Structure 1
Amino acid sequence: MKNSQDNKGILFLLLKNSIVQFIAGILSILIVLKVSNSIEYKLIEIIFKCLGYGFFCYLTTPFIIYWLAYVSQEVATDKKLAITVGVMAIYSYIIWDAYFFFREAIALYL
C-alpha cells in the first residue's frame, strides 16, 4: 500500500512540473502559427510550421502521458473525466492539424 501512495505522489509531482511545459507548448504553437501564416514565402512558412509542431509535441507529450497515468491510478470522477476529455481534445486537434499540414506540404513538393 505504501508503494502505491509513493507512486501516486511521484506522478503528481511529475504532473505539476510538466503543466508549465504544456501551457508553454500551447502558447508557442499559437504564436508560431500566427507568425508563419503571415509569411508570404512558402518554404519559410513550412519550416516555421514544422518547427512549431515539433516544439509543440516535444513540450506537451510528457504532460499528456503523466496526466493519463495519474488519472488511471485513482477512481474516476466527473471532474477528472471532463479535464481528460478537454486536454485530449486540444492535443488531438493540434496533432490532426499537424497531420494535414504535413500531408499538404509533402503533396506540394512532390
Structure 2
Amino acid sequence: MSTIMLVDDSATILLSISSILGKAGYTVEKANNAEVALTKFNAGIKIDLLITDLNMPGMNGIELIQEVRKMAPYKFVPILFLTTESQQSRKLEAKAAGASGWIVKPATADELLNTIKLVIR
C-alpha cells in the first residue's frame, strides 16, 4: 500500500488523520512541522503523497511545497493541502507552489479517502 507523509502542527489532527489513513491500509509518516518534514525528505524518505497543513509556525505549507518541489525525487509526488482556509486566492497560491489539491477541514473520512484515491496513482 502507499505511504503518505502527513504534516500538521496539531497533534489532534495528526492522530485522527493518521488513524483514518492507517485503517484504510496506508502507511503514514508524520511530522509536526515543515522543518521536521524537510529533514525526512532530505534523508530520502519514499512517499506516494504529501498532505500538509497551510498555517503552521515557522515555515508554512506553501513554503514547504516550494522546498519539496525543488527536490528531484519529489518533483511529481502529489501534494494535498488540508486546511481550514478556503479562499480562492490561497488555493491559487497553493496551486502555483505545486499543490495537487485542497481539502478543507473538517473533512470527513470519506472526503479525505476519496480525494486521496483521486491523486495517488
* Length-normalised TM-score, structure 2: 0.25
* Length-normalised TM-score, structure 1: 0.27
Q: Which structure has the larger Rg?
A: 1
By relative contact order (CA 8 Å, sep 6+), the higher-ranking structure is 1
Hey, which of these two has a bigger chunk of helix by percent?
Answer: 1
